[in-house]
Structure 1
Amino acid sequence: MLKWVVRQKVYSRILWVSSINYESDSSSTGFSRSVVHLTAGKYSSVLGQEFDCVIFDMFSGLHPDAFTALSGTLTAGGAFILVGPRLKDWPTFADPEYHRLLAYPQSQQDIKGHFLHYLSRHISQSKSWAVFNLSLLQDNSRLEIRRSIQVSGNHPVKVSIQANLPERSTLPSSNAPPRFTATGDQQKLIQWVLKMSPGRRNALVVTAGRGRGKSSGLGLAVNQWLEKFAGQIWVTAPSKATLHSFYRFLADNSAESSDPRVHFYAPDDLLQKGQLLSPKELPTLVIVDEAAAISTSLLKAMANTFPRLIFATTTHGYEGTGQGFALKFFPVLSSLFPRWKTITLKHPVRWQPKDPLENFIEKSFILDNQPVYQKSFDEAALNAFSLRRLKMSLHPAETLCGDQHLLGKLMRLLTIAHYRTTPDDLRTILDAPGVRTFSVTLREGKGEGEREEVVAAALISMESPFTDPTMIDAIWQGERRPRGHLLQQSLAQQLCIREGLGTPVARVIRIAVHPLLQHKGIGSWLLGKLKQHLKPQVSLIGASFAGEPDVVRFWLKNGYHLVRMGSKRDHVSGTYAAMVLCPMSPEGKHILRTANIRFQRRSHYDLHFQKYPRQTSEILEQALLSSRSKLPSRSKLPSRSKRNSQWSPRQRLYDGEKALLALFAEGARPFENIEDLLTRLPGVSDYPALKYLRDKALKQESVELQALASWFSLTGRKQAVQLLRKELKEWLIASDKPS
């Protein structure tokens, strides 16, 4: 297919999405100038670039996030070509992408093909797709264009769609210099940015659908700002890669910034750096791109720190959605910047409004901006709300595949409640064998006017117990990490609880309540119903998430126990990873008790725990007090606020902790999982690296591997860990010898 398209010499820049690299084909000489190749999993590397033809090889796997994202790289008048099996064969097609949905020991036979059936149905019903019967086996292949979707023969099928050509193209080609006429929306954006002159506190929110020129418009605005005002501009985003278009239109070349006054920082680094500066030293402008992907607490802290900010976000699209952003953050912004403004970019810059490709992508993958409800709840309805009118339902994948209305409501609810909801989640709901989808509906009205509205949803992953002793040993030794089973493997790897691998567990992947109905007990009601439903099937229910204090409090309030808090802060959310468990059986209670003991001791001795922000420390102390009250007296430790300033030289290591140390020495556990144990080892005077850790602990100083490497003139973290493992092996041998 690729050879045929190139030979037509119609397209100047072609994107070939496939696991097959054309460069390995000797007959493909001369392709390199016109063809860019990438595998679907690396789709983000070309976002912001432009192509006039995209060829997506479905035989290499249909990756939903890549499929939707790469459609946005197609310029006006270009063609999107999908090469795959006959449409009627899609439900039974062995998609190579299925491996991402399977948890050990599931196989492709466990996937029923609901997603491909769903997508093929949308293509069949669409009037925009042209379907061709194509033989890839003949060198002189001819394409037969058919208006009917019905295709005969056994040849693969090419499906293509062509974007509408606007009256004039506003964006340059990828090789042209980034000078062009800004769209009307972008000109308004530039005007609003320039009104945010230094000397006044102000905030601007920029929202846009994908492909509306948000990032490029900000680049143009910053260009004019730099010409008009002095001072520095700080820029942040969840990933620097998302700022490709911003930098392209900021500078006269593709360099990340030719102006030394523009600096990029990760979200948490930007905040920490700003909090160390005086008001006069702060940047004159801070730009937060894809702000909806950053936690509200971190955004609020930024708004409290910097005098002028632009918060930009995508309202809907393949990379996630900011639909819930307004409901969550705008009230915060109003309290800090009473005169803040918002601008929405509505018109696409690469294609016309109502473009057939964009319409198909948005409708099929439920990326549109349609409201979750048929009508908004008025004040009277909100005041009359009652939990007695709620009902929880389990929806099998085959039911959702055939019920577009219900599937759309569930996806839109997940979208508005969670920024990171993407097209991959649609496939997970329809195809992942171990995932169950629950909804909560609210009965409204009376009599004939009564109807049910979806107000909450939950996705649950069922983690079946491991039964193969060889696999259990391999996981325990750190030699295998099979797909899925996140909680079970976390219990074994991070908390040193081997029994967790053989325990049936349910993991809450996602729980979402519509923002208009939050804080009314719906989420707690749903968790209670899930416990009742899952109790006969599992020993534990748990979740792993970014540990914002309010979110942790929600889980604690509903009977869950915090058993792990990460020691490294996430650069985007500004939070620490958290893990909670709730026992459903005596076996689950035993595992929870063991996990609580390990968490208590780690939080007591790991000095990273002392560096948490105040709110995180408070919620951690609350969780520790709650779990401490349920532990046997011999396992209890004093509260963190009453801990001694120094360690006793005779601190006792339990057998489980010794086993964890041995696993680290053999390379089966990372340093972060046993850092607190290494600082407690007695008799380390003959082991320089271990003594270094001990001395740091006595001074109440947290340990950084890079600092240890520098102290011992090592090249980096890897050599530092190797040295610690070597010394620990020697210490373990010596400690086992009779004195």
Structure 2
Amino acid sequence: MSDLLPFSSQLIAQAKNANCRHLVVLAGDLAWGTEFANSFTSGYPSYFWAGENAPENADSLSIKKAKKLLGQETHCLVFNAHNGFDADAFGALSGTVIGGGLLLLLVPSGWFDDTQTQLPFIQRLVRLLSQPDVLLIQQSETCLPDLPPSDFARNDYQDLRFNCLTQEQTLAVEAIKKVVTGHRKRPLVLTADRGRGKSSALGIAAASLMTERRIRIAVTSPSFANVNTLFTRAANALGIDYNQQKSLSFESSDMVFFAPDTLLTTLPDIDFLIVDEAAAIPAPLLSQMLSQYNRVAFASTIHGYEGTGRGFAIKFRQQLELQTPQWRQLSITQPIRWAINDPLENWVFRALLLDTDVIPSHRLSTRASLEITYRTVPTKELIVDEALLSSLFGLLINAHYQTSPNDISQLLDDANMQLLVAELKSDEGDSSIVGCCLVSLEGGFDTDLAQQIMLGKRRVKGHLLAQSVAAHIGIPQGATQHCARILRIAVHPFLQQQGIGSSLLDFTQEWAGQQQLDYIGTSFAAAPELVSFWRKAGFLPIRLGVTKDASSGTHSLLTVQPISDAAQSWQQCAVSLFSANFLSQRVEQFNELENELFISLFQYSSAQLDIATYMPLPLSFRDLQLSCYCQGGLGYDLAIASIESWLSEWVSSDDFIHDPTAALAVVKVLQKQSWDTVVAQFSLPSRKHAEHALRSYITQHYQSSL
């Protein structure tokens, strides 16, 4: 292809003139692809290579470390997919290419020459890479593709006040500043796709506030790399030299970066908190930030790399409505770093299903009746039906904000993955997916391997449920028996609270029986409402993780439902063991567990066991002490055993009501938190006031229980 150099030069010139980006696919062996890539990369002052086998002169990074490039920009990116295609990394890195740049995708020739032997996800990818908006160059072909059209609208917007590049960005800066200058407790949620200038708007607003007043601003994000653009733009606006430092000072104002956990541990005295890439921060941490600070701006990428900000906005909205009902949401839609209707962005969104959504609620509300049917969907149906795959993924994105593009390849390629759906029939006879349950088949190991897993000497890839039952509970049958782990369950938000999720689980249980499985189970971020949902569905807790999960910020709870008699025989033992462990761990591993969740699990555990056997104390002596305590005698330290014995029974009784004073009693007596912690948590003036509140609560309810 002697005309490659003129072709690449024309393509680059055209892309720069239109401020758009293109995807160029080089399908052939790696040496050929590397040589051809050089014809394109030589037209830029610099480029970046993602993947293995990078040329010596190239700045490069492995695919696994792709997120280190977030917040950076490049004119041209080479993505080497010869060792596999990582959808998450590709989606993330595509956003680093600026307008006028190219993304060069190097793939094996077999993807196109022998497509039917490829995994389903690659088969779908090949179909999408063959579409007209992709420039496909194959080693086996002699012709080059036609140059793409170049009629893209230019952005001529000017903003002399903030130097913003679009009107939406100007409005975003003004909205961010209003969080500080307006009323308290009115946080802003700012969302945008990649390349819209969201982080720059945060930096511009911060700099403007720092020049107008004395202010202390804290910035937090999953990593400092995520806010590099924010700090760069703020430093430029303030005329400050910036060398990746994590703080900026201007006259009597400053802006400092804190990691999320450090922020909530140290609780610095600040006037304004900026939370960037909030979708990647565990929801419980965001809730704590909302409680601790009066002026907060949350920002997140809608179709992001850690998952999706759209799902984040939906989930976090519930917490915002509870804590700060006057919160405000703003979106930036017009791109800045590239042209509107950018070819690369359009293809990435389509291929990775980043802009897919659930069926609009108005289309469901016109149904005369809810005729729901349930069925399994084979992988081959998803491969050929893009609309079906898109609607399914839309459900998952809205239900689970950690859903990411790699979940598409797992769904299509993993032979152990099974999909069960709820379909709504329309009056015209067509159907729409309104619920889905994604499960993974696990277990079935031989006895020797199960024993090795139980002893912690072997670990098999996948099979998290089966291996957890064996290794974390000490029941090897959990690994030898066959089971299914529920990874995701989702119901259309317009049709929630109508029993569809419960019916879908009933159908899943029937399916599991037909497959001759022994048990089904799931693990989820423990929250009171989720514990209640799964218990009502027949899934009983058997293990609570002693450390918090990094992605959710909460403890993970493992629950199972036996299908066969063989699984039933060990499940009750596992439930009893969980209950005994929780009652023993409550003052150590779980003494900081969220109050409502703690009470729920404490009540559950107490119901499984005879609580009196764990706190043996003669009732006559206990009543004598409590009577004295209620009349103002003794003190907490002298009556603790009697107080704990009675409160354990009281919390487990039908008369118990969870209110703030009850929460105080549980936190102090059953979780053994320090008095300082109790005073701070319940906003009391002193320990004396906390002890008085506890004594009053015990007096009121002990005497009424006699």
TM-score of the pair, normalised by structure 1: 0.71
- CA gap of 1:362–1:539, structure 2 versus 1, over 3 A, is same
Question: Would you say 1:453 and 2:477 are equivalent positions?
Answer: no
* Alpha-carbon offset, residue 517 of structure 1: 1.8
TM alignment of 1:62-101, pairs within 5 A: 62-86=85-109, 87-89=111-113, 91=115
2:504 alignment partner in structure 1:
526
- CA gap of 1:330–1:605, structure 2 versus 1, over 3 A, is closer
* Amino acid aligned to 1:211: G
In the alignment, the residues of structure 2 paired with residue 12 and residue 161 of structure 1 have an alpha-carbon distance, to the nearest angstrom, of 23
In the alignment, the residues of structure 2 paired with residue 500 and residue 371 of structure 1 have an alpha-carbon distance, to the nearest angstrom, of 36
1:267-302 CA distances to partner (integer Å, 9 max, x unpaired)? 46545655xxxxxx8521122333344565654444
* Amino acid aligned to 1:438: L
Question: Would you say 1:19 and 2:52 are equivalent positions?
Answer: yes
**Count of residue correspondences:** 573
* Alpha-carbon offset, residue 422 of structure 1: 1.1
In the alignment, the residues of structure 2 paired with residue 16 and residue 199 of structure 1 have an alpha-carbon distance, to the nearest angstrom, of 46
2:528 alignment partner in structure 1:
549
* Alpha-carbon offset, residue 46 of structure 1: 0.8
1:417 alignment partner in structure 2:
399
1:322 alignment partner in structure 2:
309
Question: Would you say 1:333 and 2:297 are equivalent positions?
Answer: no
* Alpha-carbon offset, residue 582 of structure 1: 0.8
In the alignment, the residues of structure 2 paired with residue 247 and residue 520 of structure 1 have an alpha-carbon distance, to the nearest angstrom, of 47
In the alignment, the residues of structure 1 paired with residue 85 and residue 105 of structure 2 have an alpha-carbon distance, to the nearest angstrom, of 10
In the alignment, the residues of structure 1 paired with residue 163 and residue 519 of structure 2 have an alpha-carbon distance, to the nearest angstrom, of 58
1:562 alignment partner in structure 2:
541
1:572-621 CA distances to partner (integer Å, 9 max, x unpaired)? 63421111111111221122123223322321222222321211211211
**Preserved CA contact (<8 Å) 2:133 2:148:** yes
2:359 alignment partner in structure 1:
372
* Amino acid aligned to 2:233: F
- CA gap of 1:82–1:197, structure 2 versus 1, over 3 A, is closer
1:407 alignment partner in structure 2:
389
- CA gap of 1:261–1:231, structure 2 versus 1, over 3 A, is same
- CA gap of 1:452–1:625, structure 2 versus 1, over 3 A, is farther
Question: Would you say 1:535 and 2:510 are equivalent positions?
Answer: no
**Preserved CA contact (<8 Å) 2:443 2:466:** no
Among 199, 216, 230, which residue is 1:246 paired with?
230
Among 413, 424, 428, which residue is 1:431 paired with?
413
In the alignment, the residues of structure 2 paired with residue 288 and residue 337 of structure 1 have an alpha-carbon distance, to the nearest angstrom, of 16
Question: Would you say 1:487 and 2:519 are equivalent positions?
Answer: no
* Alpha-carbon offset, residue 64 of structure 1: 1.1
**Preserved CA contact (<8 Å) 2:215 2:271:** yes
Question: Would you say 1:192 and 2:178 are equivalent positions?
Answer: no
* Alpha-carbon offset, residue 322 of structure 1: 2.6
**Preserved CA contact (<8 Å) 2:356 2:393:** no
TM alignment of 1:278-677, pairs within 5 A: 282-294=269-281, 298-330=285-317, 332-334=319-321, 336-373=323-360, 375-378=362-365, 386=370, 389-445=371-427, 449-467=428-446, 469=448, 471-536=449-514, 537-570=516-549, 573-606=552-585, 607-628=588-609, 638=612
2:43 alignment partner in structure 1:
10
* Alpha-carbon offset, residue 511 of structure 1: 0.5
1:108-132 CA distances to partner (integer Å, 9 max, x unpaired)? xxxx6111111111122x1122222
* Alpha-carbon offset, residue 639 of structure 1: 8.3
Among 100, 105, 122, which residue is 2:128 paired with?
122
SS of aligned partner of 2:82:
helix
SS of aligned partner of 1:582:
strand
In the alignment, the residues of structure 2 paired with residue 376 and residue 619 of structure 1 have an alpha-carbon distance, to the nearest angstrom, of 38
**Preserved CA contact (<8 Å) 1:318 1:367:** no
TM alignment of 1:133-148, pairs within 5 A: 133-134=138-139, 144-147=142-145
SS of aligned partner of 1:494:
helix
1:235-262 CA distances to partner (integer Å, 9 max, x unpaired)? 3334444333333333342323334843
**Preserved CA contact (<8 Å) 1:164 1:355:** no
1:532-574 CA distances to partner (integer Å, 9 max, x unpaired)? 1102421111111211221122111111111111222346634
1:734 alignment partner in structure 2:
none
- CA gap of 1:267–1:523, structure 2 versus 1, over 3 A, is farther
SS of aligned partner of 1:535:
helix
SS of aligned partner of 1:608:
coil
* Alpha-carbon offset, residue 221 of structure 1: 1.6
- CA gap of 1:643–1:534, structure 2 versus 1, over 3 A, is farther
- CA gap of 1:223–1:162, structure 2 versus 1, over 3 A, is farther
Q: Which runs of 5+ in 1 are unaligned?
A: 23-27, 94-111, 136-142, 149-159, 171-178, 275-280, 629-635, 645-698, 703-739
2:621 alignment partner in structure 1:
none
In the alignment, the residues of structure 2 paired with residue 462 and residue 244 of structure 1 have an alpha-carbon distance, to the nearest angstrom, of 42
* Alpha-carbon offset, residue 369 of structure 1: 4.9
* Alpha-carbon offset, residue 319 of structure 1: 2.9
- CA gap of 1:327–1:9, structure 2 versus 1, over 3 A, is closer
Among 179, 189, 195, which residue is 1:211 paired with?
195
SS of aligned partner of 1:393:
strand
* Amino acid aligned to 2:48: L
SS of aligned partner of 2:45:
coil
**Preserved CA contact (<8 Å) 1:563 1:599:** yes
Q: Which moved more, 1:55-64 or 1:190-199?
A: 190-199
In the alignment, the residues of structure 1 paired with residue 596 and residue 126 of structure 2 have an alpha-carbon distance, to the nearest angstrom, of 49
**Preserved CA contact (<8 Å) 1:268 1:573:** no
SS of aligned partner of 1:196:
helix
**Preserved CA contact (<8 Å) 1:474 1:480:** yes
- CA gap of 1:128–1:639, structure 2 versus 1, over 3 A, is farther
* Alpha-carbon offset, residue 161 of structure 1: 9.1
In the alignment, the residues of structure 2 paired with residue 620 and residue 548 of structure 1 have an alpha-carbon distance, to the nearest angstrom, of 10
2:676 alignment partner in structure 1:
none
**Preserved CA contact (<8 Å) 1:15 1:54:** yes
Identity within the alignment, %: 32
Question: Would you say 1:262 and 2:255 are equivalent positions?
Answer: yes
1:105 alignment partner in structure 2:
none
In the alignment, the residues of structure 2 paired with residue 119 and residue 423 of structure 1 have an alpha-carbon distance, to the nearest angstrom, of 12
- CA gap of 1:241–1:549, structure 2 versus 1, over 3 A, is farther
SS of aligned partner of 2:187:
strand
- CA gap of 1:164–1:622, structure 2 versus 1, over 3 A, is farther
1:145-170 CA distances to partner (integer Å, 9 max, x unpaired)? 4339xxxxxxxxxxx99999874799
* Amino acid aligned to 1:219: G
* Alpha-carbon offset, residue 229 of structure 1: 3.1
- CA gap of 1:475–1:343, structure 2 versus 1, over 3 A, is same
In the alignment, the residues of structure 2 paired with residue 408 and residue 343 of structure 1 have an alpha-carbon distance, to the nearest angstrom, of 26
Q: Which moved more, 1:247-256 or 1:598-607?
A: 247-256
In the alignment, the residues of structure 1 paired with residue 151 and residue 571 of structure 2 have an alpha-carbon distance, to the nearest angstrom, of 58
Q: Which runs of 5+ in 2 are unaligned?
A: 1-32, 236-240, 618-669, 674-706
1:665 alignment partner in structure 2:
none
* Amino acid aligned to 1:17: A
* Amino acid aligned to 2:34: L
In the alignment, the residues of structure 1 paired with residue 671 and residue 337 of structure 2 have an alpha-carbon distance, to the nearest angstrom, of 57
- CA gap of 1:263–1:481, structure 2 versus 1, over 3 A, is farther
* Amino acid aligned to 1:559: G
**Preserved CA contact (<8 Å) 1:543 1:580:** yes
1:42-78 CA distances to partner (integer Å, 9 max, x unpaired)? 1111122112221122212111111222111111121
**Preserved CA contact (<8 Å) 1:248 1:256:** no
